């Protein structure tokens, strides 16, 4: 007798679920393409691959390589939309650049010309000329600045205003703008006028006044000394104006009492002892 074995049921294997990676990558790349699609030309580097990946994900699902189409449909729509947007922005950019006015480039500032070397002129000799002649000669030689320097003082035989010195000297080289300094002789000093001392007229000696007659009374009066009388010496004098004798006064009080003050040099009675300041007038 043969034993029978029970039949075992074998479960069919469940195929593993396979994702759709290209569809997912195309979706997210298309989302990014909607942002960068506004950038001309460069946005196409993102939007076109996004649309192609989304198409690849959908084709994989149809071929049975993926169990789900994923987000391939949305990725395709966003990818081509972003691509169209990027193409539009690129065309607008090209047209705008073609119609934009061309701005001329600013010319670089020209370098200043190098200064020309100064032209040296020969200084003419103007010593011995007058001021006007010297200035005319220097201007004719091309010099524009003629400066009058300090005077060299009076020179014997040289008229005032005659050029006696110049700087730079004759035959020296200088540019037209260099100052040429000239020195001129001054006028000789005016001699001082002679000092004239005025001579006063001689004073005629007058006789002393006579003492008045005073009646003798018994009334006591204070003693008043009489003014000293001048000592008059008799004798002939060769220098007297009237041929009379010369007077002598012991002091100025005596000369004033005699009415002879002031005494000038040459007057009778004048002497240096009475003239204290030596100006020729005594007892003034």
Residue 200: strand, helix, or coil: coil
What gap in Å lies between CA 141 and CA 137, rounded to an integer?
A: 6
pLDDT of residue 201: 59
Query: Pseudo-torsion of CA 277, 278, 283, 284, nearest 10°?
Result: -70
pLDDT of residue 236: 37
Q: Say whether domain 120-184 belongs to CATH 3.30.10.20.
A: yes
Q: What's the Cα-to-Cα distance from 17 to each of 23, 26, 56, 70, 240, rounded to whole Å? A: 15, 20, 18, 13, 174
- Nearest Cα residue to 138 out of 151, 153, 121: 121
pLDDT of residue 124: 94
Answer whether 40's CB lies under 8 Å from 90's CB.
Answer: yes
pLDDT of residue 5: 53
**Domain(s) of CATH 3.30.10.20: residues in the chain:** 120-184
pTM, two decimal places: 0.31
What gap in Å lies between CA 191 and CA 119, rounded to an integer?
A: 50
pLDDT of residue 199: 67
Calculate helix-pair angle for 44-62, 21-36, nearest 10 degrees: 160
pLDDT along the chain (284 residues), means of 10: 52 55 86 85 85 86 82 86 88 84 71 78 93 93 92 86 92 92 85 68 59 50 51 40 57 85 83 82 83
What letter would DSSP give residue 242? S
């Amino acid at each position: 007798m043969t034993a029978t074995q029970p039949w075992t049921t074998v479960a069919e294997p469940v195929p593993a679920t396979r994702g759709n990676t290209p569809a997912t990558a195309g979706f997210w790349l298309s989302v990014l393409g909607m942002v960068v699609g506004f950038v001309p030309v460069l946005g196409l580097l993102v939007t076109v691959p996004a649309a192609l990946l989304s198409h690849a994900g959908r084709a994989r699902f149809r071929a049975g390589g993926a169990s789900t189409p994923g987000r391939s449909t949305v990725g395709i729509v966003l990818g081509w939309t972003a691509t169209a947007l990027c193409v539009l922005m690129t065309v607008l950019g090209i047209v705008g650049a073609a119609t934009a006015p061309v701005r001329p480039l600013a010319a670089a500032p020209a370098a200043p010309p190098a200064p020309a070397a100064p032209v040296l002129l020969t200084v003419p000799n103007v010593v011995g000329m007058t001021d006007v002649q010297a200035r005319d000669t220097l201007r004719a030689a091309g010099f524009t600045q003629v400066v009058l320097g300090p005077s060299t003082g009076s020179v014997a035989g040289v008229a005032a205003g005659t050029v006696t010195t110049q700087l730079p000297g004759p035959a020296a080289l200088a540019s037209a703008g260099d100052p040429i300094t000239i020195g001129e002789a001054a006028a000789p000093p005016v001699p001082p006028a002679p000092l004239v001392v005025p001579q006063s007229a001689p004073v005629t000696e007058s006789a002393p006044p006579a003492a008045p007659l005073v009646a003798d009374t018994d009334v006591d009066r204070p003693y008043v000394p009489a003014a000293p009388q001048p000592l008059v010496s008799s004798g002939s004098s060769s220098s007297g104006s009237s041929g009379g004798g010369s007077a002598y006064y012991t002091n100025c009080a005596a000369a004033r009492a005699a009415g002879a003050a002031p005494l000038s040099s040459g007057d009778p009675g004048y002497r240096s002892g009475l003239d204290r300041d030596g100006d020729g007038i005594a007892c003034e």
